[in-house]
Amino acid sequence: MDFRNLNEDIFRVAGEMSEVASYLWQKGWAERNAGNMSVNISEFITPENAAAIANDNPPFYSLPLSLPALAGNYFLVTGTGKRMRDIARDFDHNAILIRVSDDGNGYLLIKYDPSQPNLMPTSELPSHLSIHEQLVTEGKRERTVVHTHPNELVSLTHIRDYCDQEALNNLLWGMHPETMVVVPEGAGFVPYLLTGSLEIAEATLQKFKHHQVVVWEKHGCFAIGKDVFEAFDLIDTLAKSALIYFQCRTAGYQPEGLTQEQLADLKVLSEKFKS
Ligand code: 13P
Ligand code: ZN
């Protein structure tokens, strides 16, 4: 199915998702089908577009959650089991356009390819849509959710001392000044839970009330942004801090880290940037 004919905004969003998919692959964070993305594109669907893309009998799938704030909303989502490197080169055959049903209890496959019955939304859809529901309910500006498996951050969560939100953030902030500036509220931390489950979706949602990035123990992380680039940048910044930590350790040294006073100055700076 050709997503790009709908309108130029959707064409642009699909292009941005493809571009970030290529970054995730190049970073080495996207083995096989690792990672997924979703973008709420409802603001770009005009009544004419909605009529043009309406199918007579779009397949409906119920969800084990209720999404009243998303009723009727449209999302571009990556397909389950699809490779980021394939999404980067051929978005239309590796991603899907869905619409949350009017009762908010499921979704319809709007743009789908009947010749590809296995092209279904990501298995992390419960987490993605719960996060979008919270973003819309709270009137937030973010419209994008990105999930990936950054080696550097996953490695940190194999160290028991850093399976603690405060210790994790203190380490990450201390490795590079930009980390406090870009992610001043730090990452939320979710202890290990089964991937794709409602439990992990619920735990993640709680963390997104106060954070823009959430790290899943021994798995990866989720980030939100106004676009996929913003979400990617948050993950990239945290992953760089983690990499600096491991590079110092690999060289045989315990990194010194920034002092509490230096971090306090950076926090003030980050507040200036925000205002
Ligand atoms: P999907 O292929 O279903 O998107 O799953 C990838 C993944 O990273 C699961 O956490
Ligand atoms: Zn994953």
Evaluate: CB of 197 within 6 angstroms of ligand 1. no
- Buried residues in 70-102 as b, exposed as e (16+ CB within 10 A): beebbbbbbbbebbbbbbbeebbbbbbbbbbbe
- List the catalytic residue out of 19, 31, 48, 124: 124
CATH class of segment(s) 1-149: alpha beta
Alpha-carbon span 259 to 113, nearest angstrom: 55
Nearest to 22 by CA among 94, 80, 74, 96: 94
Percent of the chain with pLDDT over 90: 85
Q: What is the pLDDT of residue 269?
A: 93
Contact 107, 100 (CB under 8 A): yes
Tokens of 28: 């080495």
Mutual angle of helices 125-137 and 198-208, in 10-degree steps: 30
Alpha-carbon span 168 to 268, nearest angstrom: 21
Tokens of 209: 């009330």
Averaged pLDDT, 16-40: 98
User: Mind listing the pLDDT tens digit for each residue in 34-58?
Assistant: 999 999 999 999 888 888 777 778 8
Q: What is the pLDDT of residue 116?
A: 80
CATH class of segment(s) 151-275: alpha beta
Q: Which ligand is nearest to the CA of 197?
A: 1
Alpha-carbon span 275 to 163, nearest angstrom: 32
The pLDDT mean for the chain works out to 94
3-state percent breakdown (helix, strand, coil) of the chain, nearest 5: 50, 15, 35
Q: What is the pLDDT of residue 112?
A: 65
Alpha-carbon span 228 to 12, nearest angstrom: 11
Q: Kindly give the number of the ligand 1 atom that is closest to the alpha carbon of 82.
A: 2
Q: Which ligand is nearest to the CA of 33?
A: 1
Instruction: Give span(s): CATH 3.40.225.10, the chain.
Output: 1-149, 151-275
Catalytic residue list contains 124? yes
Q: Which residue has the higher pLDDT, 64 or 1?
A: 64
Secondary structure of 79-129 as H, E, C letters:
ECCCCHHHHHHCHHHCEEEEEECCCCCEEEEEECCCCCCCCCECCCHHHHH
Q: Looking at the predicted structure, is the pLDDT value of residue 1 above 60?
A: no
Contact 231, 208 (CB under 8 A): no
Evaluate: CB of 33 within 6 angstroms of ligand 1. yes
pTM of this structure: 0.96
Q: What is the pLDDT of residue 260?
A: 96
Averaged pLDDT, 19-41: 98
Distance 221 CA to ligand 2 centre (A): 8
Distance 123 CA to ligand 2 centre (A): 9
User: Mind listing the pLDDT tens digit for each residue in 191-238?
Assistant: 999 998 989 999 999 999 999 999 999 999 999 999 999 999 999 999
